[in-house]
Each structure stands twice: as C-alpha cells, then as structure tokens.
Amino acid sequence: MMLVMYVCICNGHSDRDIKRVAQSGVSCARDIYIQLGKPMRCGRCIDMAEELVQKVHESTIDNHKTVGTRR
C-alpha cells in the first residue's frame, strides 16, 4: 500500500504530485505548483517541496551515471 503525504496543505499537492512533475524536468517548486494548476500560497511547504525536487533530480542523475557506465 502506497501512502500519500500531503506536502502543500493550502493546495492539496501530495509528494507524488510534486515528484511526477519534477520527473518531467521541472526543477523549481514554484513552477511545479503552477504546472499543477495551483500556485504557491502561504509558502510554508516550499522547503519540503524543494527537497523533493532535489531528490528526484539527484536520482535521475544517478540513473544516468549508472546507465552510462554499463558495459
């Protein structure tokens, strides 16, 4: 069972919503919120959202490195 964690209470954006948009190449939490149709409001969630975005992009870079080193 996958648990959903709400990152942004104002807009109801979950960790999955944010990761999905980050995986499409968007690298800024504010832009991700715009893509999700509801822009940043109070801003209390920004640190957690940015952390999620960073993790997604780090894992993408790691995957590319791993693929690039296969023989």
Give the interface with ligand FES as residue ranges (CB under 6 A).
8-11, 40-45
Per-position DSSP letters for 5-56, written without gaps between them: -EEETTTTEEHHHHHHHHHTT---HHHHHHHTT----S-TTHHHHHHHHHHH
Nearest approach in angstroms of CB 53 to ligand FES is 14
Tokens encoding 35: 């893509």
Nearest approach in angstroms of CB 28 to ligand FES is 14
Nearer to ligand FES, 13 or 56 (CB): 13
Nearer to ligand FES, 11 or 56 (CB): 11
